[in-house]
Structure 1
Amino acid sequence: MFITVSYGADCHEIVNVQCRVLSLTAHLKRKCQCRPEDCVDLLDESGTLMNLSQVESPGSELARKYLQERQHYILIRVVQRLQKLSAHPPLKDGTGKTSTQRKFGQAKEPHLGSPAKLRSTQQTKKVLSSPAGPDT
């Protein structure tokens, strides 16, 4: 009951799936020189995640329950992000402004520009649209 696991730059490892999920992942971490605290998982050839990192009891569950013998898998490192941080609104400081408002200023009504700026824009359009060009 073996599988082939690819990792790194053209590296392959044949492993026995008649072992605990925890033992399998620990062995693969050592082989690919991952840190012990890294979370690794496997993808099958179609790109389906095997979710070994989500097994509730990796110390007691057998890897063969999740993997098919004689199949080829790709080792990946799983980066888990804290989703709960993005679910909360931005924190406010003592002024009552959020960090975005402090950085970019408070949202105001749209600024339409000064009359002088509008006048110069209209003059530019007039000059550019004249047939003789800007020198006339």
Structure 2
Amino acid sequence: MFITVKFGADHQILLNPNCKVVNLAESLRDQCRCGPEVSIDLLDESGNLINLSDLEGCQDTATNYLKERQSYVLVKIIRSEGSEPARYESLLENLSKRHPELAERLQKLSNPHIRDKSRNSVQKKVRTPKETPFSSPTKTRAASQPKSRLA
């Protein structure tokens, strides 16, 4: 079992995730030359963060969180002071050219308040049955139609 982690100027490494999460994160920092002070995470091919920094304290193996033979992009977590959400920076150069959908997803994760504003600005009007065309009650329609004289 292995995973591929992409970083730098089109570098990639193979890692065996059959180890504790903390050991995998430490190995990633060593092989990618990130210092121990750098918070890192992995972004999968669907644009989901694995949240390695949250999992480093647990004793679970990384295979519980990572998929076999999957590719991941190494991401740096930039934590701000106060109540501001964390920002994410790709450690794979030119992510927007290589994987534009992942770059877009990473930007949305870094700016969640922008995503919420755009969601709130597009409000769909929900029609009630009274507002829809041809939805007048059956009694009204029947009363307005002339009765047949054939009876």
TM-score, length basis structure 2? 0.52
Q: Distance in 2 between matches of 1:44 and 1:84?
A: 26
**Alignment correspondent of 1:53:** 53
CA positional deviation for 1:31? 1.1
Aligned-residue identity in percent: 44
Pairing of 1:91-110 with structure 2 (within 5 A): none
2:32 counterpart letter in structure 1? C
2:41 counterpart letter in structure 1? D
**Alignment correspondent of 1:81:** 80
CA positional deviation for 1:47? 1.3
> For 1:13, what is the secondary structure of its paired residue?
strand
Count residues with an aligned counterpart. 85
**Alignment correspondent of 2:116:** none
Q: Distance in 2 between matches of 1:16 and 1:39?
A: 20
Deviations 1:44-95 (A, max 9, x none): 012111111111624x12101110111010111111112248xxxxxxxxxx
2:30 counterpart letter in structure 1? R
**Alignment correspondent of 2:43:** 43
**Alignment correspondent of 1:111:** none
**Alignment correspondent of 1:13:** 13
Q: Distance in 2 between matches of 1:56 and 1:27?
A: 12
Q: Which runs of 5 or more structure 2 residues have no equivalent in the other structure? A: 85-151
2:33 counterpart letter in structure 1? Q
CA root-mean-square deviation = 1.8
TM-score, length basis structure 1? 0.58
1:68 counterpart letter in structure 2? K
**Alignment correspondent of 1:34:** 34
The ranges of structure 1 where at least 4 consecutive aligned residues each deviate by more than 6 angstroms after the TM superposition are none
